[in-house]
Structure 1
């Protein structure tokens, strides 16, 4: 499966690069060309939900890639896609974490923060535990608490599942523990949010994490618990009561057109986005 994802990712970027090269060599009207956005799933969700409105207001066709981090998509892919931008083949990217100014300068890109997203703490649906304190959770992720009976649950081993992506970037899972080395060594590492949900579903003692924009299907056997009795809502995140979150955003090259920038700005500040923010418990940053 991983080999297939890598191959598909390579094929996607080869196609995107070839399309960019072709656009450079053929004289076409920019207004007739689709705009491509790709990258991290959780930011993709926002743009995908708003796609009809964005296309209507911009008058352009918009192609979006990133569902369930397909084709190897993620923050790095979002940055790579943004840098492929050309006059006749316009692109932008999705990221699910903050980017330091040094990285933005190095990659020659512009970051557009959109919203803070609560990070949900996931357990198996059959787990009787409904809330854990920050201290308990961090001890479990570190491996200091290894059985659910130590926190009021049934006598069952804790199976820690992590997705420690973007290790050199601030925020996201680092609000749980600041360094990958602090997580227990015998954890299960996954490559995508879909794999996270499936893995926690597979283990009655599972403990994992994902973003609030994730849509759980009927096959998932997980639930999100409270942290210190506090639900992962936008109101609780905004007030500082809920501790775990990450920043969702978009990136462009510094040569992005007014149209591309206006599409992103519409997401940042438009009234339609406020409805999406309420749907996914997001805290708008603009």
Structure 2
């Protein structure tokens, strides 16, 4: 149906089709706003494609590691937590364990080359990480805190406000709808480390991809720079887990915000699945039976037991507590939140 009106400025046509189109756009925009976050996990049923014959190839260590009993690849998050205790484990067990630094991406490359026995991830595995013959063993989860300069009087934000801040929709602290007084008028400087873009979880639980972040985002590549950038700028807001804030405290002082009224150090709430942002930690082993793989599984099992003992010191929720709270596991791998194993949920 078309409505027509004559005016001195010409003919104006209003069509029901146009009205319907506008309504569809509005509905689509609203729906999109509710799904700004990315997936929390990938399906453990997925197997990454590999070249023909790859699955049957033996491990081939680099020449420098040829005499090692085990080669372990750690990342930015796992190195500070695991490196020293792996070295001590090797001393006690009289093993030659080579521990290499890297990132999740570097670990993935080493596993694809079959040059390491154990790999560490600070995120849930992405689809391409699920190589044939690779098993994932979860160490636990840790809350990702929103962090600000100590002089910022703000104490907390909602999840929705956090998304608006990092999108750039809220650009000044004064614009926050908060009962709190004394918020500065200055510009907000969002800071993020957009690592592991192809993997689920971590910062993608806030905003799914880099295109959703503010054009004013200050992007850093390493954890120490995240801490130092927020510590030196009273208008900054970033995100990091508590253990890394402690490990890199020499880079400056920062303060954690509550999200939806909950402190990230409230581990009971994190355990319940209610806290919106968290990081998962995994180690990998190979399924094939060999002396090295048996040693690798023994090491991973020992590390899991060690994390169970020290989890409070490093702000972890370990696998035993996650299982008791209803988080979903398949074998040794965490695959879903307490409400279900819907891999696209969060």
Q: TM-score scaled to structure 1, two decimals?
A: 0.78
Q: 1:219 to 1:39 in 2, by over 3 A?
A: closer
**Deviations for 1:168-209, whole angstroms, at most 9, x for unmatched residues?**
111111111122211112211110111111111221101111
Q: TM-score scaled to structure 2, two decimals?
A: 0.66
Q: Which ranges in structure 1 are unaligned for 5 or more consecutive residues?
A: 1-15, 67-72
2:121 aligns with: 95
State yes or no: 1:138 paired with 2:163.
yes
Q: 1:119 to 1:59 in 2, by over 3 A?
A: same
Larger Rg: 2
Q: Is the 8 A contact 1:50 1:273 kept in 2?
A: no
List aligned pairs for 1:218-257, cutoff 5 A: 218-233=250-265, 234-255=267-288, 257=293
Specify which structure has the higher proportion of helix. Answer: 1
List aligned pairs for 1:16-165, cutoff 5 A: 17-20=62-65, 23=66, 33-48=68-83, 50-51=85-86, 54-55=89-90, 58-66=93-101, 73-83=102-112, 91-100=117-126, 102-106=127-131, 109-151=134-176, 152=180, 153-165=183-195
Q: Is the 8 A contact 1:230 1:241 kept in 2?
A: no
Q: Is the 8 A contact 2:142 2:279 kept in 1?
A: yes
Q: 1:212 to 1:62 in 2, by over 3 A?
A: farther
Counterpart pick for 1:173 among 186, 190, 203: 203
Q: 1:235 to 1:50 in 2, by over 3 A?
A: farther
Q: 1:172 to 1:161 in 2, by over 3 A?
A: same
Q: Is the 8 A contact 1:49 1:276 kept in 2?
A: no
Give 1:161 deviation, angstroms.
0.7
1:281 aligns with: 315
Q: Is the 8 A contact 2:227 2:251 kept in 1?
A: no
Q: 1:210 to 1:131 in 2, by over 3 A?
A: same
Q: Which ranges in structure 2 are unaligned for 5 or more consecutive residues?
A: 1-60, 321-346
Higher alpha-carbon deviation: 233-242 or 223-232: 233-242
2:3 aligns with: none
